């Protein structure tokens, strides 16, 4: 039964419950559920959902160097973004966040891309932010970040230099999807950068610049890496490395290990199972007291088991609402959308195949969130 809101003009379209999964932006535009807002870049403007969402993904076709999407957009100074830059020296596919105007690179895929159109997806579930390219089943990048819990989703529609980037008829709002790749190694790295678009905060990793006949400048020590809940002001960040690069393979992974060790920073082997992941997290937590992400966030990012996604989502809702970490985190999300999302995650927890005792505990957390409200 749709929820309708009426005033003296009758039933308002703005108060109607509507589909929010597997719908195109063209459809959302027809029912007045798209908007545009002030942006931080003078060359483009974003087209965004009118309503905010917590757990959702946006899928679209994009062109390198101009294609850009947004998740959990609160305003022009606070959002997650996924972008491609063909001149990024074996780090062409990237996840970033802008928080209070400061820019942080959260992850990069060790890849050099050609100038062709790509199918892309940016997904949020709980404290997991994932980026997909070409393959919509398995993300290239998947990070843990707790800064932004909900917001609008959108894409760059028009750019003054290219006129058109995304096609709203080929841009979809979908359910979240984020089973991350397993960790190869976990290292600590110092943070460099000024927080600007041109010089974002990022881990200081080993590099070996070289020239390539097709891609120009490349980095032979580039790795695919993903940050774990990095907070502004902390001098180091924990980095999950998932692969090397096309040029030197695993040598690049070993180079990052050696760099961390040479600076007396942490180097960890990936845990073998959930119990070991929890033990590893608890040991790390002493040196990263600013983390809001919990043990299940860590286990999910480093192990990549699908069932653990619902664990970390339940922790995010419970921590923000019941524990009061961010009591207003979901105020912009329609009530009916929140209930849909919570019911979806509760059903996934009922079907969880591993660590059943933990699954039951997290199911009770979501039941309490439903009772408490938001």
* CATH number for 124: 2.60.120.560
Q: Which of 249, 273, 305 is the last residue of a domain?
A: 305
Residue 188's nearest CA partner among 261, 255, 257, 238 is: 238
Domain-embedded: residue 9: no
d(CA 83, CA 238): 22
Same structural domain, 186 and 40: yes
What is the residue range of 311's domain?
306-374
Domain-embedded: residue 74: yes
Q: Which of 285, 305, 325 is the last residue of a domain?
A: 305
Domain-embedded: residue 1: no
Same structural domain, 272 and 331: no
Q: Are 205 and 259 in contact (CB under 8 A)?
A: yes
Same structural domain, 27 and 77: yes
In which residue are the tokens 């979240």 written? 176
Buried b (16+ CB within 10 A) or exposed e, 47-64: bbbebbbbbbbbbbebbb
Please report, for the chain, how many H helices and E strands are present, in that order.
Answer: 7, 22
Tokens coding 90: 């074996």
Same structural domain, 142 and 88: yes
Total tally of structural domains belonging to the chain: 2
Q: Which of 288, 305, 322 is the last residue of a domain?
A: 305
DSSP state of 318: I
Note the pLDDT tens digit of each residue in 139-195. 999 999 999 999 999 998 655 544 455 678 889 999 998 788 899 999 999 999 999
This prediction has a pTM of: 0.93
Per-residue pLDDT of the chain (374 residues; tens, 9 = 90+): 444 443 333 334 556 799 999 999 999 999 999 998 877 676 677 899 999 999 999 999 988 877 789 999 999 999 999 999 888 899 999 999 999 999 999 999 999 998 888 999 999 999 999 999 999 999 999 999 999 999 999 998 655 544 455 678 889 999 998 788 899 999 999 999 999 999 999 999 999 999 999 889 999 999 999 999 999 989 999 999 999 999 999 999 999 999 999 999 999 999 999 999 999 999 999 999 999 999 999 999 999 999 999 999 999 999 999 999 999 999 999 999 999 999 999 999 999 988 999 999 999 999 999 999 99
């Amino acid at each position: 039964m749709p929820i309708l809101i009426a005033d003296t003009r009758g039933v308002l379209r703005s108060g109607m419950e509507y589909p929010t999964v597997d719908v195109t932006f063209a459809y959302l535009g027809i029912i007045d559920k798209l908007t545009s807002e002030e942006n931080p870049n003078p060359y483009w403007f974003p087209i965004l959902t009118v309503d905010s969402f917590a757990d959702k993904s946006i899928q679209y076709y994009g062109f390198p160097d101009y294609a850009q999407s947004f998740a959990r957009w609160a305003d022009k100074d606070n959002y997650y973004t996924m972008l491609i830059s063909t001149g990024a020296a074996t780090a062409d596919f990237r996840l970033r966040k802008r928080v209070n105007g400061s820019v942080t690179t959260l992850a990069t895929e060790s890849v050099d891309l050609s100038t062709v159109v790509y199918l892309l997806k940016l997904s949020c579930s709980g404290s997991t932010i994932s980026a997909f390219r070409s393959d919509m089943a398995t993300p290239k990048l998947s990070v843990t970040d707790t800064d932004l819990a909900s917001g609008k989703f959108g894409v760059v529609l028009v750019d003054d230099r290219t006129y058109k980037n995304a096609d709203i008829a080929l841009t979809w709002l979908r359910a979240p999807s984020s089973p991350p790749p397993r960790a190869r190694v976990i290292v600590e790295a110092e943070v460099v950068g000024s927080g600007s678009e041109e010089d974002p905060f990022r881990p200081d990793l080993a590099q070996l610049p070289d020239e390539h006949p097709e891609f120009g400048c490349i980095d032979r020590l580039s790795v695919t890496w993903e940050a774990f809940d990095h907070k502004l002001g902390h001098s180091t960040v924990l980095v999950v490395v998932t692969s090397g690069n096309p040029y030197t393979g695993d040598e690049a992974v070993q180079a990052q290990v050696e760099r961390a060790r040479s600076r007396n920073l942490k180097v960890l082997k990936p845990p073998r199972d959930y119990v070991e992941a929890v033990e590893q997290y608890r040991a790390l937590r002493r040196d990263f007291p600013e983390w809001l992400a919990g043990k299940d966030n860590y286990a999910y990012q480093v192990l990549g088991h699908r069932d653990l996604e619902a664990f970390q989502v339940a922790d995010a809702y419970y921590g923000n609402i019941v524990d009061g970490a961010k009591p207003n985190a979901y105020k912009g999300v329609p009530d009916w959308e929140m209930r849909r999302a919570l019911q979806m995650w509760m059903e996934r927890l009922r079907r969880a195949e591993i660590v059943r005792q933990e699954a039951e505990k997290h199911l009770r957390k979501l039941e309490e969130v439903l009772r408490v409200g938001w």
